[in-house]
Amino acid sequence: MNLEQMKEQAYQLHLHGVLAHWEEVATTDWLPKMLAWEVDERAKRSLERRIRAANIGKFKSLVDFNWSWPTLCDRGAIEGIMSLEFIAEMANIVVFGPNGVGKSTIAKNIAYQALIHGHTVKFITAGALLGELSALDSDSALRRRLHHYTAPNVLVIDEIGYLSYSNRHADLLFELISRRYEIKSTVITTNKPFAEWSTVFPNASCVVSLVDRLVHHSEIIKIEGDSYRLKEAKEKAESRSKQRKKTPKSN
């Protein structure tokens, strides 16, 4: 960088002491390194804050994902999503499949990629989201909370379909999706095809419109297979059983 660029960077970093003594420090050898350190450290802290705020928790990287386990899984499409073009297009991602095939893992990897590329992200289960919104007892509190979930560049709503909800829950989800529609990207994981969402939100009149807004400008990833968590649990149980058989019994 030239001196003007470094001065602009110092201004953006609010390094007022450096700027006050600019004539003294502008040509020093340590200034470019110090500015680079400051930029890197602030970027690191910003990422750490956004990761905490996103609430994605622990997750398995796609590097360790067992792609051979599902009987149907479009690896190329999933890896393509990690380019994050869908965020620029303000499109949605729907990950659909049975329990235990890695839907949440994929969603969390999408969320993490978005975070490290500077986007704001919020991860929450459908149960926690709708329970929180439905518990608010004033219109002003509800508006503030809806704004809170509308604001992130990427909102991940995990596990739609595992519970059934009331008409009020359906209306609240519809309101949130409508606020984000064609403005922000939403990532959904669900164990039920959209044709069965009427069982998730029984008698809710907004289900068709809700699905319509989710599917429009959306990429749907379908995964099929047995539960990987069940496979791991069986393998651990077998391993413990073998270990017990090898351990000599004490008299």
Q: Where are the domains of the chain?
A: 3-54, 62-230
Q: Tell me which residue of 141, 144, 149 sits closest to 173, measured CA to CA.
A: 149
Strand-by-strand arrangement of the 92-96 sheet: 121-125, 154-160, 185-190, 92-96, 218-222
Q: Other C-beta atoms within 10 Å of 93: how many?
A: 24
Residue 45 Cα to chain centre, angstroms: 19
Question: Looking at residue 237, what is its pLDDT?
Answer: 78
Query: What is the end-to-end Cα distance of the chain in Å, rounded?
Result: 77
- Distant-in-sequence, close-in-space partners of 98: CB < 8 Å, separation ≥ 6: 191, 223, 224, 225, 227
Question: What pLDDT was estimated at residue 74?
Answer: 95
The CATH homologous superfamily for domain 62-230 is: P-loop containing nucleotide triphosphate hydrolases (3.40.50.300)
pLDDT band at 15 (very low <50, low <70, confident <90, very high): very high
Q: How confident is the model at residue 204 (pLDDT cuts 50, 70, 90)?
A: very high
**159 has a pLDDT exceeding 70:** yes
Has residue 234 got a pLDDT over 90?
A: no
Q: Which helix (H) or strand (E) segment is 156 a member of?
A: strand 154-160
Spatial separation of the C-alpha atoms in residues 241 and 96, rounded to whole Å: 35
**Pairing between β-strand 185-190 and β-strand 218-222 as defined by DSSP bridges:** unpaired
% of the chain exceeding 70 in pLDDT: 98
Confidence of residue 230 (pLDDT cuts 50, 70, 90): confident
Whether the Cβ atoms of residue 62 and residue 95 lie closer than 8 Å to each other: no
DSSP string, 212-223: HHHHTTEEEEE-
Residues 6+ apart with CB under 8 A from 88: none
Section 125-138 average pLDDT: 96
Residues 114-121 have a mean pLDDT of 94
Q: What is the pLDDT at residue 251?
A: 55
Question: Residue 1: what pLDDT?
Answer: 79
> Given this model, what pLDDT does residue 250 score?
59
Extract the tokens encoding 170: 């359906």
Asked if residues 169 and 156 have their Cβ atoms less than 8 Å apart, the reply is no
**Mean pLDDT on 170-188:** 97
pLDDT score at 47: 85
Pairing of strands 121-125, 154-160: parallel
Four-CA torsion 159, 160, 163, 166, nearest 10 degrees: 150
Where is average pLDDT lowest: 32-41, 95-104, 131-140, 149-158? 32-41
Q: Rounded mean pLDDT of the chain?
A: 92
Residue-level pLDDT at 41:
87
